[in-house]
Chain A
Amino acid sequence: MKLSREIIATEDKRKLQDISGEEVLSCYQCGKCSAGCAMTSAMDLLPHQVIRLLQLGQVEDALRSQTIWVCASCLACSTRCPRGMSLPNVMESLRSTFLRPGDRCLNPADIPYELLEILPEQALVAAFRKYT
């Protein structure tokens, strides 16, 4: 890939930083976030790889990743990050980029009834907040 200032500093990337409040360039790719992440077995990209894509301006690739939906916002990564970056904020900003146009949502009818019967309310409220 040939990189240029135009490729790296895109408008999409600036928007993500406005939503998340995080500067992705502050990351030096130590990988501590990925090493301690509880959800990596279900991820296609490791958390630090998503950050690397954003550093290089590849916002579209980051948005296509399953990782942003798998992140459970447990904050293990941000608690341990030597650069003090909140990756969960970055993941949330990527999800928001998808969700803010308002054409994607978690449909209550898709949730199996047996699960609805036993799920704590906390899970439902949180999931609607995350996926809608």
Chain B
Amino acid sequence: MVYSYFPGCTLRAKAKGFDSSALASCKVLGVYLEELEEWQCCGATFPLQIDNSFPLVSPARTLAAAKKAGRKLTTLCSACYNVLKRTNHVLREDLDKRNKVCTFIEEDYFGDLEILHLLEILRDEIGFASLAEKIVKPFSGFPVAAYYGCLLLRPPEEVGFDDPEAPRILEDLLFALGCSPVDHPYKTECCGSYVVLQPGEPTASPSRLIVESAKSRGARAIVTSCPLCQFNLDYVQSGDVERGENAVPVVYFTQLLAMALGFGEEVLQFDGHLVPPGPVFRSAGVGGCEGAT
């Protein structure tokens, strides 16, 4: 199975572990991610002003390039997935915008590319059952909370990823890896996204609520697919780590997958995490994390 791969800017900078753990795991699973020859930043947010089509230009260029490559396109970052999928939807449904954008970028593209999140490939093309058979270091019931955030799920009519209020794809993956999925009420709530950068007064971050809800239900780690969710949930706990209080590591689903497939720190790249995941997994003796920091 070969797919075109759009890594996006964050995976090549601050979220390197997301990228490397996905590439290594996919290889073992017989999925080849072929990076697009030409790609650019998706813009990180889908434009909400309907009178301004310019922010669609960058994702449209990537989509047109992927269409020429002739394969289904996959991506890992929730923001890239959201922006590419919504842009594709607009270019397919809105003739006026399509004409405007495609004339500008000098491409004929009709919004007819299939875009898959890696989670969808794991579920639909490999299958969680056959994935479970390939696990060499199972998590033996280790409790992990899934955190979806906004971008994977909303708006459901355009993204069409999973049930927007009661998603289960991450839990199903956790189950296949041998973890015990921990249900919690804030799994589809917003983490606050980029409000940490808001000029002026600092605002209360909802990230604390999300972490506490997962922790109070027994989760010992949180799993996500968005670099900004990962950062926010991690950052809100950085004080806890300094004070030596109990903190839960926030990891990408591909890092858990790579651990279960037996990869070590050179693939997991936990070094950028503010709550170090290594000690937690090591003390629980799960997921083959002997070499992890």
Contact A131 B197 (CB under 8 A): yes
Over the window 91-128 of chain A, the binary record of Cβ atoms lying under 8 Å from chain B Cβ atoms (1 yes, 0 no) is 11100100000000011001100010011111111110
Question: Contacts A118-B231, A122-B79, A126-B45 given: A72-B55 contact, CB under 8 Å?
Answer: no
**A70 contact set on B, CB distance < 8 A:** 195, 198, 203
Interface window among B129-137, B149-157, B176-184: B149-157
A88 to B48, CA, bound (A): 7
Contact B235 A120 (CB under 8 A): no
Contact B203 A129 (CB under 8 A): no
A121 to B48, CA, bound (A): 20
Given contacts A73-B48, A123-B231, 16 further A-B contacts (CB under 8 A): A19-B50, A39-B203, A72-B150, A76-B150, A89-B49, A93-B48, A120-B10, A121-B10, A121-B44, A122-B77, A123-B196, A125-B9, A125-B41, A126-B44, A129-B45, A130-B194
Contact A122 B9 (CB under 8 A): yes
- Size class of the contact patch on chain A: 35 or more
Query: From B210, which residue of chain A is reached at the shortest CB distance?
Result: A38
Question: Contacts A38-B190, A70-B203, A73-B45 given: A78-B155 contact, CB under 8 Å?
Answer: yes
Please pick, from A78, A91, A120, A125, the residue contacting B231 in the complex, using a CB distance under 8 A: A120
Contact B196 A42 (CB under 8 A): no
Counting from the closest, the 10 A-B pairs by CB-CB distance are A74-B190, A21-B50, A92-B48, A42-B203, A74-B150, A75-B154, A125-B44, A127-B197, A126-B44, A127-B194
**B43 contact set on A, CB distance < 8 A:** 125, 129
**A123 contact set on B, CB distance < 8 A:** 44, 193-194, 196-197, 228, 231
Contact B194 A126 (CB under 8 A): yes
Contact B197 A122 (CB under 8 A): no
Q: Is A4 in contact with chain B by the CB < 8 A criterion?
A: no
**B48 contact set on A, CB distance < 8 A:** 20, 73, 86, 88-89, 91-93
Please pick, from B13, B191, B200, the residue contacting A121 in the complex, using a CB distance under 8 A: B13
Contact B49 A93 (CB under 8 A): yes
A-B pairs with beta carbons under 8 Å apart, 23 shown:
A20-B48, A21-B50, A21-B51, A41-B206, A69-B198, A72-B193, A72-B194, A74-B149, A75-B154, A76-B188, A76-B189, A89-B49, A106-B199, A120-B14, A120-B230, A121-B13, A121-B14, A122-B10, A122-B77, A123-B196, A125-B41, A125-B44, A129-B44
Question: Contacts A129-B43, A129-B45 given: A119-B231 contact, CB under 8 Å?
Answer: yes
A12 to B196, CA, bound (A): 30
Q: Which of A32-79 contact B (CB under 8 A)?
A: 38-39, 41-42, 69-70, 72-76, 78-79
A42 to B200, CA, bound (A): 12
Q: Is B164 in contact with chain A by the CB < 8 A criterion?
A: yes
Please pick, from A18, A76, A120, the residue contacting B15 in the complex, using a CB distance under 8 A: A120
Question: Contacts A120-B228, A126-B79, A127-B197 given: A74-B49 contact, CB under 8 Å?
Answer: no
**B198 contact set on A, CB distance < 8 A:** 69-70, 127, 131
Q: Which of B26-67 contact A (CB under 8 A)?
A: 41, 43-45, 48-52, 55
Q: Which of B44, B155, B274 has the most CB of A within 10 A?
A: B44
A96 to B52, CA, bound (A): 11
Q: Is B166 in contact with chain A by the CB < 8 A criterion?
A: no
**A86 contact set on B, CB distance < 8 A:** 48
* A99 CB, min distance to chain B CBs, angstroms: 10
Contact B227 A76 (CB under 8 A): no
**B196 contact set on A, CB distance < 8 A:** 115, 119, 123
Q: Is B278 in contact with chain A by the CB < 8 A criterion?
A: no
**B50 contact set on A, CB distance < 8 A:** 19-21, 89
A124 to B14, CA, bound (A): 12
Q: Is B218 in contact with chain A by the CB < 8 A criterion?
A: no
A80 to B48, CA, bound (A): 17
**B203 contact set on A, CB distance < 8 A:** 39, 42, 70
A89 to B48, CA, bound (A): 5
